[in-house]
Amino acid sequence: MRPKDIAMATPTPPVQLTDLASSLRRHWTTVAATAVVGLLLGMAVSVVLPSRYDATATVSVNPITADPLGAQADADRSVSMPTEVRTATSAQVAAAAATALKADHPMSAQDVRDATKVESPDDSLILSIRFSGASASEAAAGADAVAEAYLETRRADAAAQVERLRKTAQEQVAAVQASTVAPENAGAVQQRALAIQADAAGTRLAELSNTDVDPGTLIGKADVPDEASSPGLVALGLAGLFLGLLAGIPVALTKKEENSEIGGVDGLQAIGDQIVLDGTKDTNRADTWDIAAFMLKIPTDIGIEDPFLIMVDAEEAPGRTITPGQELVDALSRRGRSARFVDAGAINEGKISRGWPTDKKRVSWAGEIIIIDTTNLTSDANKVALATRSDSVLLARSTADDATALRRLAGLLRSKGVDIALTALFPPRPELMTLNR
């Protein structure tokens, strides 16, 4: 039993970049088709999708201190801008804005709320109220309406708070006045204490009457926008084209090959081989190998210091009685050239990866033609390693061989600067052909 029969299976080599590029070239029509579909869809969306316009109104928020006891507080700390942002986007403000817009731009309170976005720059008392409308005039009117509704809501809330505090102060004054006529408070000390309470309540009531409830100012009314903010025909078309390309590339890479076989000389040359010997019409396989032996550029005189190494690689074929490398040895013999056959599949692949054939082995082969057959090697990396150490590389393929596997090997050889001297193409059924004359 040969070593290859008992060797453990090795993982399938990873896909190379050359494979991906080749797959994209073969299926470029798929990528182009998806890109065109994306372009057309993007253009269709631009037609169907209604245009939107954005306008922005700017409000300066005025801190309101309804509590006289806190009147001396720092103004910047007496108002929370995140709270004001939430107020401006509240359902109450949206309802008031919808009512104001009803005559010229009827929409629901929820529509107004959905179209409104409010922001506040850091460390400022400014609100930027942006409104998105179906028309330029609607966008400007909507932004101003929301700003006015916000200010009115804030003014009403502040006035209600002041009124509540004012009523509380009035009740305190009335309670003190009622206490002054009570028998238990007839004493001078009690009367003096009640007088102090009455003065404090009166002062508080006076201060509440002078509380400023101005919520702020609309410092920048919204300008009517000149152009739509939503993407136009060109932008959506280009976006669709880009998305189509993104979708088409993986589809092309994963698309199942309709026919992964080489199929003929044209298919083989499409992979990148420059010199192809077409033996598909030969009734005798040996005839093809005779021509291959003639076409290979083997020196007439081989120096006594080094051998001349020829790597022969083919796809494994179950039931094959003779290897392609041995076929080449026989063809050379018929031409009067002796050659030594070496089955790389019988060599430990670890030795190959570490640098086989060694200098010692090459010295032992000095002056000879060495045919190294890599058909039974499972590692493409080891095949490439042997190719870089060989003087010539010959590939033997049939029209039924897997083109993807050959394309991967050819790409790896090119990446290492290895030229394929010759590719011999055979029919897919070698068992129907004779090997001997």
Q: What DSSP designation does 348 have?
A: -
Q: Where does a domain end: 168, 195, 220? A: 220
* 335 falls within a domain: yes
Q: Are strands 276-278 and 422-426 parallel, antiparallel or unpaired?
A: parallel
pTM score: 0.46
Measured on CA atoms in the order 362, 366, 367, 369, is the torsion positive or negative? negative
* 21 falls within a domain: no
Would you say how long the chain is, in residues? 437
The domain spanning residue 418 has which CATH number?
3.40.50.300
**Do 307 and 393 reside in the same domain of the chain?**
yes
Q: Which single residue is written with the structure tokens 């090697």?
A: 377
**Do 212 and 236 reside in the same domain of the chain?**
no
CA angle 348, 350, 352 (to 5 degrees): 75
Number of separate domains in the chain: 3
**Do 210 and 269 reside in the same domain of the chain?**
no
The domain spanning residue 208 has which CATH number?
3.30.1890
User: How far apart are the C-alpha atoms of 89 and 384, rounded to whole Å?
Assistant: 68
* 19 falls within a domain: no
Dihedral pair phi/psi, residue 382, rounded to 5° = -70, -35
* 18 falls within a domain: no
**Do 137 and 173 reside in the same domain of the chain?**
yes
User: How far apart are the C-alpha atoms of 44 and 337, rounded to whole Å?
Assistant: 71
Task: Give the three-state DSSP class for 395.
Answer: strand
* 225 falls within a domain: no
Note the pLDDT of residue 390.
95
**Do 136 and 198 reside in the same domain of the chain?**
yes
Q: Where does a domain end: 167, 197, 220? A: 220
Task: Write the single-letter amino acid at 211.
Answer: T
User: How far apart are the C-alpha atoms of 327 and 333, rounded to whole Å?
Assistant: 10
Task: Give the three-state DSSP class for 71.
Answer: coil
Task: Give per-residue pLDDT as tens, 361-417.
Answer: 999 999 999 999 999 998 999 999 999 999 999 999 988 888 888 888 988 999 999
Measured on CA atoms in the order 425, 428, 430, 433, is the torsion positive or negative? negative
**Do 211 and 240 reside in the same domain of the chain?**
no
* 22 falls within a domain: no
Domain that holds residue 355: 3-9+261-432
54: nearest Cα among 128, 149, 140, 150: 140
Strand partners, 371: 310, 341
* 437 falls within a domain: no
User: How far apart are the C-alpha atoms of 358 and 338, rounded to whole Å?
Assistant: 22
Note the pLDDT of residue 429.
65
**Do 84 and 210 reside in the same domain of the chain?**
yes
H helices present in 181-221, as ranges: 188-209
* 409 falls within a domain: yes
Instruction: Identify the segments of the chain with pLDDT beneath 50.
Output: 1-13, 68-77, 432-437
Note the pLDDT of residue 437.
43
**Do 247 and 339 reside in the same domain of the chain?**
no
**Do 381 and 297 reside in the same domain of the chain?**
yes
**Do 390 and 317 reside in the same domain of the chain?**
yes
**Do 250 and 266 reside in the same domain of the chain?**
no
Task: Write the single-letter amino acid at 182.
Answer: A
Dihedral pair phi/psi, residue 293, rounded to 5° = -65, -35
Q: Where does a domain end: 195, 220, 245? A: 220
Note the pLDDT of residue 211.
66
Tokens coding 216: 């702020």
Strand partners, 261: 402
**Do 285 and 183 reside in the same domain of the chain?**
no
